[in-house]
Amino acid sequence: MSSDPRALEDLRIDHSARGSGGMPVWAWGLLVALVVAGAAAWLWIRAPRAIEVRAAVVEQPAAAGEGGAAVLNASGYVVARRRATVSSKITGRVVEVMVEEGKAVRKGQVLARLDSATADRALALAEAELDATRGAVKENRVRLDMARLTAQRYRSLRADGIANQADLDNAETEVRAYEARLALSEEQVRVSERQVAMRQNDVADTVIVAPFDGVAVSKDAQPGEMISPVSAGGGFTRTGICSIVDMSSLEIEVDVNESYINRVTSGQRVEAVLDAYPDWRIPGKVITMVPTADRQKATVLVRIAFDPSASSGSPRAGSRGDHLDPRILPDMGIKVAFLGSETPAGSSAPLVTIPKEALRTDGGSQVVFVVVGGDRVERRALRLGPARDDRVEVVSGLAPGERIVLSPPASLKDGDRIVVR
């Protein structure tokens, strides 16, 4: 049987137009490119992104004066040890007030006068009674002299046998009676004198004077108002004329947490800054610690005196004396740094301060996130000291110069990548 070569050639499969896998070469290249691009996109989406944060540098309080670095910070107020609301000892109507706020007053200066009409009349009556009792004394003294002469005559007559014993006894009895009457009238004079003195004191009580040198910081009554040493119902009766402060008695009172009171000692140097003058540093020293704690606040009251030596930037910035700087006023807010020459016992590192916004409470501990390597954070637990304004003292856990994250996001974790703004 013969075969046709052309027929056999038509039955042969031509592979020249197809790739090795049954797909064109260009289709395989496109598929590989798509797979690589998809994998890269998936890895980019799943990879952790750097978190943008703000950072601050950990600061160490600078040494201040001879005392060294601050070992404790506290806030308090300027107070006056001598401050009085001047009132009257009697209830009366105010007729004159001779004091104004901000004016200096001297001890014994008249501040106000009350209506003294009733007291004046009572004094006049007491003086009249005194005059009457003195007149009675004079009368009884004259009568006593007469009775003594009469008794002397009867003794002579009795010696001559002219008068009887009964007449002599009557004369001597009359002498003793006038002696007793004279003694009584003299005692009445002393009583009347005391009554006059008491009425004079009542009149003096209508004049209100300053008890000590100072400055009037308030004026609490006006002419026509009633004033009383005790509070009266209804609110229509004043209890004081004005308030006086002895500016030479100003000092500082601060509440120190009882956990840190061991850092405070009597005579310790301090540096105070008034809230009103934040650039003015005032030297001072601890007077004493009041030996009792406030169980509600867990604090101990510390009294601090302004130092008599003035700094170069505060002329007359003295303390308890006539040269107290006039910028220091009662009830001003003030911040105090207790100075020490060395690090407190139990601290292995120098004290540093950080902003409060850098703290986060985690598991009952206060932690911060420290920037390490420039783009990573490390979670670190701290032991804190007292707070002052918007900063808090760090006893251990940080070193000066380290950078910490401010307001760390809730999602920030140890080892996360960051970008510092």
Count of CB atoms situated within 10 Å of the CB of 360: 17
Q: Is residue 7 part of a domain?
A: no
214 shares a domain with 251: no
Residue 301: strand, helix, or coil: strand
Q: Are 186 and 140 found together in one domain?
A: yes
| Percentage of the chain lying above the pLDDT 70 cut | 80
102 and 215: one domain?
A: yes
pLDDT value of position 78 = 93
Q: Rounded distance, CA 365 to CA 350, Å?
A: 21
184 and 324 both lie in a single domain? no
Residue 128 confidence (pLDDT): 92
Instruction: Assess whether pLDDT exceeds 50 at residue 313.
Output: no
Which pLDDT band holds residue 317 (cuts at 50, 70, 90)? Answer: very low
CATH number for the domain that contains residue 329: 2.40.30.170
Measure the CA–CA gap between 282 and 69, rounded to whole angstroms: 15
Is residue 216 a part of any domain in this protein?
A: yes
Residues 352 and 287 in one domain: no
- Give the CATH number of the domain where residue 104 resides: 2.40.50.100
Q: Do residues 236 and 91 both lie within one domain?
A: yes
Pick 4 or 274 by higher pLDDT: 274
For the chain, what percent of residues have pLDDT higher than 90? 18
**pLDDT at res. 193:** 92
- What's the domain range around 393? 52-63+348-420
What are residue 147's phi and psi, to 5 degrees? -65, -35
Whether 286 maps to a domain, the answer reads yes
Q: What is the pLDDT of residues 56-94, one digit of tens each?
A: 888 776 544 444 567 888 899 999 989 988 988 888 899
**Of 310, 339, 368, which residue constitutes the final position of a domain?**
339
* Domain contains 364: yes
Residue 217 pLDDT > 80, yes or no? yes
41 within domain boundaries: no
**Where among 149, 182, 202 does a domain terminate?**
202
Q: Enter the pTM of the model.
A: 0.55
Residues 96 and 241 occupy one common structural domain? yes
Asked whether residue 259 falls in the same domain as residue 125, the answer is no
Question: Is the pLDDT score of 359 beyond 90?
Answer: no
Tell me the C-alpha to C-alpha distance, in Å, between residue 232 and each of 154, 238, 239, 271, 387. Answer: 70, 8, 8, 45, 44
Counting the structural domains of the chain, the total is 4
- Which of 170, 202, 234 is at the close of a domain? 202
* 47 part of a folded domain: no
Q: Tell me, rounded to whole angstroms, the distance of Cα 365 from its chain centroid.
A: 31
Query: How far is Cα of residue 93 from the mean position of the Cα atoms in its chain?
Result: 35
How many other C-beta atoms are found inside a 10 Å radius of the C-beta of residue 307?
20
- 19 falls within a domain: no
Measured on CA atoms in the order 62, 65, 68, 72, is the torsion positive or negative?
Answer: negative
pLDDT class of 367 with cuts at 50, 70, 90:
confident
β-strand partners of 301: 255
Predicted confidence at residue 8, as pLDDT, reads 53
Tell me how far apart the alpha carbons of residues 76 and 336 are, in angstroms, rounded to a whole number: 8
Q: What is the 8-class DSSP label of residue 362?
A: E
Residue 272 and residue 194 in one domain: no
Strands (E), 81-143: 83-86, 92-97, 104-105, 110-114
> Do 375 and 416 reside in the same domain of the chain?
yes
CATH number, domain containing residue 410 = 2.40.420.20
d(CA 79, CA 290): 15
Query: pLDDT per residue over 6-38, tens digit each?
Result: 555 555 555 555 544 556 666 667 777 777 777
Statement to judge: residues 233 and 376 lie in one domain: no
**Judgement on whether residues 177 and 216 belong to the same structural domain of the protein:** no
Instruction: Answer whether residue 23 is part of any domain.
Output: no
pLDDT of residue 316 exceeding 50, the answer is no
